[in-house]
Amino acid sequence: MSKSGTILYLDGVSVSFDGFRAINNLSLVLDRGEMRAIIGPNGAGKTTMMDIITGKTRPDAGEVYFDGTIDLTKHDEADIAMMGIGRKFQKPTVFESHTVEDNLVLALAGPRSIFPALFHRRSKAESEHIDEILATIRLEARRNDLAANLSHGQKQWLEIGMLLAQDPKLLLVDEPVAGMTDAETEETARLLKDIAKTHSVVVVEHDMHFVRELGVKVTCLHEGAVLSEGTLDHVSADDRVIEVYLGR
């Protein structure tokens, strides 16, 4: 399998914690501009896979390449983020003592060293970009509220907004619609599809309705390895997937 043309290339990745194999010889390839949905039962290793890609966890074995050429196992979290991998966490994590707007300001693409930050003044372009993002995530009205006071769903959206502000090449989105109403779920699906027009995206979700909405290739993980891959219909027809995940 060639790495060129891929945005993300995982081959034979394994990781174990105190002898427990969370990821077991996992291989996964994502083409540039592709959106992929990942499903799988609890503990399948979906979040751990994202940990590996973003440098939080080091794999014991295997290759992890970004953009065909960059070996991610040699870089740390901040480096990887700067190369263009953004991540939304399963448990929404935003800067609670900051306002919604400031959360976006901190995430905004740009230099990441001390002195520019010390003397930073917001440019017009930046302000406009933030307004745009706020409109997209529908938090204009809350822009000056502390993030701590947002509801669970709103925090999810704020995290997606931070991803947008970061403007990465690859977005890793962990369970974006957990705790959302049906309407909000649809809205999120629409937003992600929008984003996917210009970015590569990996979405982890348990909500089958949402995955169907996305209408993209699906990978089902189980016990740290790929169980099945293909269209949602193909995957959900797979006996093993039904066995371990969907249920009869």
Partner 1 sequence: MITQRLFTGGSNRRVLVTALVLAAVAVLVPVLHLALPPSSPFHVPAYMVALVGKYLTYALLALALDLVWGYCGILSLGHGAFFALGGYAMGMYLMRQIGDRGVYGNPILPDFMVFLNWKELPWFWYGFDQFWFAAIMIVLAPGALAFVFGWFAFRSRVTGVYLSIITQALTYALLLAFFRNDMGFGGNNGLTDFKDILGFNVQAPETRAGLFAASALALALALLITSAITRSKYGMLMVAVRDAESRTRFIGWRPENIKVFAFTISAVMAGIAGALYVPQVGIINPGEFAPANSIEVVVWTAVGGRGTLVGPIIGALLVNGGKSWFTGILPEYWLFALGGLFIAVTLFLPKGIIGTWDSWRASRRDAAERARTKAEEDAAPPPVDPATGRPVRVEETPRAPSPGLSGGPAPQPAE
Ligand X SMILES: Nc1ncnc2c1ncn2[C@@H]1O[C@H](COP(=O)(O)OP(=O)(O)OP(=O)(O)O)[C@@H](O)[C@H]1O
DSSP SS3 for 27: strand
Q: Does 90 bind Mg ion (CB under 5 A)?
A: yes
Query: Count H helices, E strands: the chain?
Result: 10, 10
**Token output for 28:** 């996964």
Judged by CB under 6 A, the chain residues 138 through 197 that form the site for ligand X are: none
The least distance separating ligand X from the CB of residue 24, rounded to whole angstroms, comes to: 11
Binding mask 96-135 for partner 1 (x = CB under 8 A): xxx---x--xxx----xxx--xxxxx--------------
Residues 10, 39, 47, 66: which binds ligand X (CB under 6 A)?
Answer: 47
DSSP SS3 for 211: helix
* Spatial CA neighbour of 45 closest among 241, 211, 225: 225
The least distance separating ligand X from the CB of residue 48, rounded to whole angstroms, comes to: 3
Binding mask 35-64 for partner 1 (x = CB under 8 A): ------------x------x-x--------
Cα–Cα distance measured from residue 239 to residue 37, given in angstroms and rounded to the nearest whole number: 19
Distances (CA, A) of 145 to 18, 103, 171, 184, 214: 43, 11, 26, 21, 31
Cα–Cα distance measured from residue 21 to residue 19, given in angstroms and rounded to the nearest whole number: 6
Q: Does 148 bind partner 1 (CB under 8 A)?
A: yes
Q: Roughly how many angstroms between the first and final C-alpha of the chain, as a whole number?
A: 35
Judged by CB under 5 A, the chain residues 32 through 61 that form the site for Mg ion are: 46-47
Alpha-helix runs per DSSP H in 91-151: 100-107, 114-118, 124-136
Structure-token match 């991540």, residue found: 87
Q: Would you say 212 and 185 are in contact if contact means Cβ atoms under 8 Å apart? A: no
Q: Does 236 bind Mg ion (CB under 5 A)?
A: no
Selected range binding ligand X among 44-52, 141-149, 193-201, 212-220, rule: CB under 6 A: 44-52
| Residues near Mg ion (CB under 5 A) | 46-47, 90
| Residues near ligand X (CB under 6 A) | 17, 22, 40, 42-48, 90
| Residues near partner 1 (CB under 8 A) | 47, 54, 56, 76-78, 81-82, 86-87, 89-91, 93-98, 102, 105-107, 112-114, 117-121, 145-146, 148-149, 151, 162, 166, 183
